[in-house]
Structures are given as structure tokens and as C-alpha cells.
Amino acid sequence: MTAYTATVTVSLKRGVLDPEAETTQRALERLGFELESLRSADRYEVDLDAESDAAAADRAEAMAERLLANPTIHDYEVTVEQRPAASESAETAEGHGQ
Amino acid sequence: MTVAVVRFGGSNCDRDAVAALEHLGIDAELVWHADGLPSDPDGVVLPGGFSYGDYLRAGAIAARTPILDDVREAAADGVPVLGVCNGAQVGAESGLVPGAFTTNRSARFQCEHVHLRVERADTPWTAAYEEGDVIEVPIAHAEGRFVVDEARAERLREEDRVLFRYCEADGTVTDAADPNGSRDNVAGVVGDRDTVAVTMPHPERATLPDVGPTDGQGVLRAFA
């Protein structure tokens, strides 16, 4: 098994109104910034162990399908990358504690 | 045999729903979601509130709790199921009804009385009204904007699944009367069967004579 971090980015489908993003854009413009438009998205970082990149991506995709995204209003994107073994950082943290 | 009002952590209209139903002479009881649905309920209410703190999306997490399997099963057996406000969001998230309820056009929480036009009078929820009647009920939500894609919106019109539309006091359906930017002014829809419905407005808050208009009574009479 390999340790992965899967990143699931959930964004509104094009054409779905995003009132929070519009409010944020207006606030940026009030601060004097020039911008064309602004979109917001939710990002979930999921640490998991899997047999392969594909298996990690499949599981994260299933999470998006079942819960993280609502297909009526959202699109989502999944990327995976290997992460360093957790035990090393845990030991470091313990060392600091003593 | 009684109407089960399902309480999640964060529900806050659950007791209001019981009080409103009992005022109409309908037996109702609170049911904690983790206890599951009692066998053979006369009806199910998914009440308003902020289940799971609205984490992720309003209604998203409650919609995936095991009791929703019981609710879907009861709904498929013809048991009347009503979702109100957060319960409507749970109903949409769980697939009991089409569409999604998301952030109001104003990006604000809105608590106000609205007018609704009764679009169909041939459902249990609207049998007490005539088609075209205008009723006054409160809304209290930040995520009540009904969203569906164009194809689905067309099907909703074809299948006549819209129960209520936001309207002016005289019944005219206008953009200005739509408090949250809902597609086609939709305030309430039915699911695959007419016995399953959700509404963002609160009929249970327009039922007790002591607290204002009682126009919402007709909706709850579906359980009588």
C-alpha cells in the first residue's frame, strides 16, 4: 500500500449563479483591484492508503460522487499524489514533545 | 400510528412541526434519526433547522444518514413525506425530489413572509386549496434558491411537479416576488409521487392562530 493525498476540488457548474463569489468580487473591487470575474471552489484534501494511483483516484472520485459534490450544481476534479510516510513526521512531533 | 418528525442534530423546527400537527388533531412524535423510522408511520416530516451545522452543503450530510433509507422506503410505499426548509434541502440532497436548494441570490439569510401561488390542487398537500389560490407563509433560509438544469426544468413543467411558486399578493408570478432567485419561482415541488413533497417556506409556522396567518394548515392536513 502507498500513502496518497487525494485532492478533490468541487466547483459550481458554469452558468450556476454564485452569489458569494459575486459579493467577494465586489469587495475586491471596493479595495481598488481590477478583475474580470471571480469563481470560488471547495477543496478537500484526503489522506488515504491505496494500491496504486488509479485506486486512490477511484476512491476519491467515489467520495465526490457520493457526498462531496452535488451533481445538480457541481463539477469536480480529482488529483492524487504520494505523500511521505506518516510515521516519520509522528516521530518528529513526539521528539518535540519531550 | 403517527406522523414521525425526524430530528437530526441541529434541527430546530421539529417541535414546531409536532405542535402544528397536534393543533390540527394529527398525532405526531419526534424521532431521533439514529433510532430509525418507526414501523408503519402515518407520515414523515423532515423538519427545518441546520442539520449537521449545514456543513458541506445544507442538508447534504443528513441526506446520507441511514434513516433516509427508511424514509425513501416509506415514500416508495406511499407514506406521505414532507420536507420543510432544511428538510427540503435534505429531500433534494437525498433524491426524494429533483433539483438542489443553494445560496440565495442575495447571499443572505432571509426571514420574511412571502406569498405563494398554489399551482396544483390535486395533491394531498394542496387539496385544501384551489388552484391559483395565494397563501401567505414565512421563509427563513440562506440556501433556498431552487436550481435545476434547463432539461430538468422543462420536465418539471411537463410533469406538472411544481406545487407552489413565489408570487405577488395578487398571484402574479414575477422576478421581484421571488425572494431567493429560485428557477421559475419554484418554492415547493413533489417527487416521483405526489405523496412526497418539499417546500422551502414553513407551513408549520403558519398554522397556529396565536402566531399569525394560518394559511399553511392546508399543507399539513395531508397527514390527517
The closest alpha carbon to B198, from B93, B46, B60, B82, belongs to: B82
Q: Is residue A36 part of a domain?
A: no
| Cell reading at B135 | 397563501
Percent pLDDT > 70 in chain B is: 100
Q: Which three cell numbers stand for residue A28?
A: 475586491
The strand pairing partners of B113, in sequence order, are B138
**B201 HSE (CA, 13 A, CB side):** 32
Host domain of residue B38: 3-223
pLDDT by residue for chain A (98 residues), tens digit each?
Answer: 999 999 999 999 999 999 999 999 999 999 999 999 999 999 999 999 999 999 999 999 999 999 999 999 999 999 999 998 655 554 444 444 43
First vs last C-alpha separation in chain B: 12
Confidence of residue B127 (pLDDT cuts 50, 70, 90): very high
Q: Which member of B99, B106, B149 has the closest CB to residue A19? A: B106
Are A19 and B56 an interchain contact pair (Cβ–Cβ within 8 Å)? Answer: no
Q: How many domains does chain A have?
A: 1
Confirm whether A80 is domain-assigned: yes
What is the ipTM metric for this complex?
A: 0.88
CA–CA separation, A71 and B220 (whole Å): 31
Q: Which of residues 90-149 of B touch A (CB under 8 A)?
A: 92-93, 99-100, 102-107, 145, 147-149
Contact partners, residue B62, CB within 8 Å, separation at least 6: B8, B33, B46, B51, B52, B68, B86, B90, B93
Average pLDDT for chain B: 97
At B53 the pLDDT is 96
**What CATH number should be reported for the domain holding residue A90?**
3.30.1280.10
Tell whether A20 is covered by a domain: no
Catalytic residue flag (residue B85): yes
Torsion of CA B215, B50, A26, B183, to 10 degrees: -50
Residue A59 lies in a domain: yes
Give me the CATH number covering residue B8: 3.40.50.880
Q: What is the pLDDT of residue A84?
A: 85
Instruction: Find out whether B202 and B111 touch, Cβ atoms under 8 Å.
Output: no
pLDDT at B15 over 60: yes
A21 within domain boundaries:
no
Ramachandran bin of B63, using left for φ above 0, alpha for ψ from -120 to 50, beta for the remaining angles: alpha
Question: Looking at the 3D structure of chain B, how many domains does it have?
Answer: 1
* A29 is a domain residue: no
Closest-CA residue of B relative to A12 is: B102
Tens of pLDDT along B74-110? 999 999 999 999 999 999 999 999 999 999 999 999 9
> What is residue A87's predicted lDDT score, i.e. its pLDDT?
56
On the question of pLDDT at B113 being above 80, the answer is yes
Q: Which residues in chain A touch residue B56, judged by CB atoms under 8 angstroms apart?
A: 67-68
Between A93-97, B4-8, B33-37, B181-185, the lowest mean confidence (pLDDT) is in A93-97
* Residue among B64, B149, B181 whose CB faces A17 most closely: B181
Q: Give the domain range for residue A57.
A: 2-15+41-97
